[in-house]
């Protein structure tokens, strides 16, 4: 049975960044990463791929090139965590034991949670930058007008802003391709507002107004009919009246029963429902009940597990009340690394604290971006250096350049090497 001082589940953004930072601080650590994938993807650029302004191949690299030197790569699937015996079972490599465990497998797409979605995806009736951004671009180019609907599920998702980024880009593309005047661009979301942080929401509300985008809050998708090309939403506004939503509307909404609204679409982009991988949901390391059920039970500041002190978690799978983004991981990783090393050396967890920082580079057009940065409780948390030169609450060309060129460079060359 193989044994490691530190075992990391997941070789995505979180796992590789943590491994690289740990190795930079202490070369003598015995470490392994469990990761089945041969390829590593820079997913933040998939929004741009879906809008035809970034090459998908440029988002893909070989995983082997990013496993830090001196870290074993167990190319396998983790299937079970046994925190009482400090072991992880794998599909083909047997059990692996550890002294300390970092859980960072990311999340998985769960289209089966939305009835009709798996069939709609199979038939190519819907598109999603989360699964196949090249197909989104294909569909955008074929679109000739009608209802272009953009939506998202009620589950937590990677980068909560992504479903609206492609909507802004698509709206500009429809103007360029001459179909905008016969198109309804509709953003339907279970959320209550366009964005949770007021400073950024003000800008986005103005953009929606100026570009005549139809905003539908409190719209939770409940089913898709791929044959009829219809999506049904449940109207979830407390004490809201769904019948008022469909009165005199120009997009052909139809009331079904008391609180469901059916809408025909000519183009539908959505983020599929998402969740923690099954082996995490089935494990006692995840929260068993309540709103965070299935996500890993960590202290939101130290990232140490609340019940198993030799386990830490970060990234999309951790139960943290902030957006699941690569930017969040960039701030979480050094906190986890400092606290874990302190625990190894002194038997006490360190005092480094993660404040919930996350950022959402909100691309609002082909040369414009609003850099939304925030921390716990939806408090704005803009970078003091960038803020000196740029008002990040407004659309900026410089931020677009950062998104398209700066951030990918930083990701591959600094973050995954443990330098940022």
d(CA 166, CA 140): 10
The answer to whether residues 271 and 130 touch, using CB atoms and an 8 Å cutoff, is yes
| Runs of H (alpha helix) within 75-197 | 117-122, 133-142, 162-176
Measured from the Cβ of residue 95, the count of other Cβ atoms closer than 10 Å reads: 15
C-alpha separations of 141 from 50, 103, 150 in Å = 11, 40, 16
Q: Which residues pair with 231 in a beta bridge?
A: 224, 263
Copy the structure tokens of residue 38: 């041969």
What are the beta bridge partners of residue 147?
184
Pick from 49, 55, 51: nearest CA to 364: 51
187 and 150 Cβ atoms separated by less than 8 Å: yes
Residue ranges with strand state E in 142-272:
146-151, 183-188, 214-216, 219-225, 230-235, 254-256, 260-264, 267-270
Helix (H, G, I), strand (E, B) or coil at 113: helix
CA angle 37, 40, 41 (to 5 degrees): 130
Residues with a catalytic annotation lie at 159, 360
- State CA 3 to chain mean position distance: 32
* Measured torsion, CA atoms of residues 194, 199, 204, 205, in degrees rounded to the nearest 10: 70
Here the tokens at position 297 are: 């039970």
């Amino acid at each position: 049975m193989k044994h490691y001082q530190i075992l990391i589940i997941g070789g995505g953004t979180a796992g590789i960044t943590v491994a690289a930072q740990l190795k930079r601080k202490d070369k003598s650590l015995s470490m392994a990463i469990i990761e089945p994938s041969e390829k590593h993807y820079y997913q933040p650029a998939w929004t741009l791929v879906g809008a035809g302004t970034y090459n998908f191949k440029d988002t893909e690299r070989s995983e082997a090139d990013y496993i830090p030197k001196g870290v074993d790569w167990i190319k396998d699937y983790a299937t079970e965590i046994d925190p009482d015996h400090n072991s992880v079972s794998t599909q083909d490599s047997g059990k692996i034991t550890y002294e300390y465990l970092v859980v960072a497998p990311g999340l998985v797409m769960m289209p089966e949670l939305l009835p009709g979605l798996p069939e709609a995806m199979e038939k190519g009736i819907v598109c999603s930058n989360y699964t196949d951004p090249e197909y989104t671009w294909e569909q955008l180019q074929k679109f000739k007008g009608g209802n272009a609907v953009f939506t998202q599920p009620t589950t937590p998702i990677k980068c909560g802003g992504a479903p609206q980024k492609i909507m802004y880009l698509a709206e500009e593309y429809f103007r360029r391709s001459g179909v905008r005047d016969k198109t309804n661009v509709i953003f339907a979301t279970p959320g209550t507002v366009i964005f949770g942080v007021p400073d950024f929401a003000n800008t986005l509300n103005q953009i929606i107004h100026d570009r005549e985008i139809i905003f539908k809050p409190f719209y939770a998708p409940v089913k898709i009919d791929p044959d009829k090309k219809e999506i049904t939403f449940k109207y979830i506004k407390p004490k809201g009246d769904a019948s008022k939503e469909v009165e005199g509307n120009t997009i052909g909404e139809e009331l079904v029963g008391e609180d469901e609204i059916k809408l025909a679409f000519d183009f539908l982009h959505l983020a599929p429902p998402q969740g923690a991988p099954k082996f995490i949901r089935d494990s006692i390391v995840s929260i068993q009940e309540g709103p965070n059920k299935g996500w890993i039970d960590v202290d939101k500041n130290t990232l140490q597990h609340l019940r198993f002190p030799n386990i830490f978690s970060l990234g999309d799978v951790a139960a943290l009340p902030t957006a699941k983004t690569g930017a969040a991981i960039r701030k979480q990783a050094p906190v986890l690394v400092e606290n874990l090393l302190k625990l190894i050396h002194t038997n006490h967890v360190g005092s480094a604290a993660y404040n919930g920082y996350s950022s959402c580079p909100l691309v609002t057009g082909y040369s414009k971006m609003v850099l939304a940065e925030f921390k716990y409780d939806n408090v704005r948390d803009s970078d003091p250096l960038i803020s000196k030169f740029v008002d990040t609450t407004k659309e900026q060309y410089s931020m677009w350049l950062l998104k398209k060129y700066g951030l990918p460079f930083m990701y591959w060359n600094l973050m995954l090497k443990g330098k940022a």
